[in-house]
Amino acid sequence: MSSDQTTDIQQRMYNFIVNYMKSEKMPPTNREIGRELKIASTGHVDYHLTMLEKKGLITRQPKKSRGIKLTKTVTGIPVMGSIAAGQPLEISTDPEEMLDAGRELEHDNTYALIVRGRSMIEDHICDGDYVVIKPQESCDNGDIVVAVHLQDGMRGSATLKRFFQEKEHDRVRLQPANSELDPILISKSEWDEEWRVQGKVVAIFRRHAA
Amino acid sequence: MSSDQTTDIQQRMYNFIVNYMKSEKMPPTNREIGRELKIASTGHVDYHLTMLEKKGLITRQPKKSRGIKLTKTVTGIPVMGSIAAGQPLEISTDPEEMLDAGRELEHDNTYALIVRGRSMIEDHICDGDYVVIKPQESCDNGDIVVAVHLQDGMRGSATLKRFFQEKEHDRVRLQPANSELDPILISKSEWDEEWRVQGKVVAIFRRHAA
DNA sequence: CATAGATTTGAATGGCCGTTCTATTTTTTG
DNA sequence: CAAAAAATAGAACGGCCATTCAAATCTATG
């Protein structure tokens, strides 16, 4: 009965607090936490909250209802790595940093990539820009997409390009926005087997020196 | 005693709730509201909260502690209007919309403008982009700034340009990033009298069609 | 001025809330 | 296995919390 709980209870408690605050815009009460985690005793919840506090994940305002505060602000979308067209970089599996580009974009599994190089420069996407990616497999002609080439096994290299389905040639064209670079032309069969659209660009964010 | 309260009490109550939630990351209790607004009775607070609810400014979760929710999300930075280099548009006094570009940029009096035209295209700032402006009078050579020309009275027209102080010519050059457009050259004296740097660009935000 | 409506007070109620305490069970560790 | 540490339950306490009610005061309006 206790072996199937892969996750540590304090981790689940912390996750619940984070999610609750995201949806309810206020911290949960100790009893609400207990109800969620099937903890029968409020003292027990308090015990684990004390542990979380000791670990520095939360702080508490004594005696105040819902007096839990998160120490780390967990907002923004994960920056999953960088991407280039010249030499495609790999998408890392765990986020390196968080980009706070507004709650508006914090949907589903939206993530960000740092653009390297000038391959999309004529679309005014510069080296160092963050592109916000909305994961989806389908896309329309002209969309700027993250196209993944499935080469060996599961791991693939990704590239940022404009997508065009050329029906007359029965192929797909991945077009960089840089006249010095050539498009990637892929036959329909090869496309279906070896390529996958990972998502499309929904926003661009550029920091300037403060 | 009651005549000096220029602001409507419900407005002050609403403002307090907004500010409290911003700083405390949770809604205030009815008692905390009363304490702040010098209201002696909790029933009185409840009365005005009911009014605020009736006006649609808040909703309440019955019986829940701190069960106040704001209906309008008051996040983001105000979009103060649009700006162009060709024909400078005026900065509006009241925000038309809010741009949620992350809490990171929600400092001081930071605001956003929508770029119109292609005057900064070679800096890869496109028509329709949002530029995030940090208000400050000083700036360095090469900064992209909002320069305001104080023509008649208080109202001035604004333009987005790169700033260069040309000491050898004793003048200021406002340089568009478009080779088809000419820079604006302003003598030092005219600059000091008629112009003002309103702020500098600290970030750029571009939406793509979803 | 008189009445109606809006505002304010004070008190009361019942439930929720954080916290503490003791005791029991489970897990880890030597 | 035995001792120590961690986790869980249950109950209890005092205080905070939202809500309601009756009554008093203020404000506008005909």
Q: Per-residue pLDDT tens for A156-191?
A: 678 899 999 998 889 999 999 999 989 999 999 989
The runs of H, that is alpha helices, within chain B are 9-24, 30-36, 42-54, 188-194
- Who wins on pLDDT, A155 or A173? A173
**Residue A129 predicted with pLDDT over 90:** yes
**Nearest of B49, B25, B45, B46 to residue B36 by alpha carbon:** B45
Question: What would the mean pLDDT of B183-209 be, rounded to a whole number?
Answer: 90
Q: Per-residue pLDDT tens for B96-151?
A: 677 776 666 667 788 888 898 888 999 999 999 999 999 999 899 999 999 888 77
pLDDT band at A1 (very low <50, low <70, confident <90, very high): very low
Residue B129 burial (C-beta neighbours within 10 Å; 0-12, 13-18, 19+): buried
CA–centroid distance for B61 within its chain: 32
CA–centroid distance for A136 within its chain: 13
The sign of the CA dihedral A92, A95, A97, A101 is positive
Evaluate if the CB of A66 falls below 7 Å from strand C.
yes
> If you count DSSP H runs as helices and E runs as strands, how many of each does chain A have, helices first?
4, 11
From chain B, the residues in CB contact with A162 under 8 A are none
Among A19-33, A143-157, B84-98, the range with the most confident prediction by mean pLDDT is: A19-33
Nearest amino-acid residue to D27, taking CA and C1': B2
Of B26, B125, B204, the CB nearest to A27: B26
Q: Chain D bases under 7 Å from protein CB?
A: 7-12, 15-22, 26-27
**Residue A3 predicted with pLDDT over 50:** no
**Residue B85 predicted with pLDDT over 70:** no
CA of B164 to C1' of D29 (A): 65
Q: What is the mean pLDDT of chain A?
A: 85
What does the DSSP 8-state code read for residue B91? P
pLDDT value for A8:
85
Evaluate if the CB of B66 falls below 7 Å from strand D.
yes
Q: Per-residue pLDDT tens for A63-108?
A: 999 999 999 876 677 788 888 754 545 556 666 677 776 666 677 7
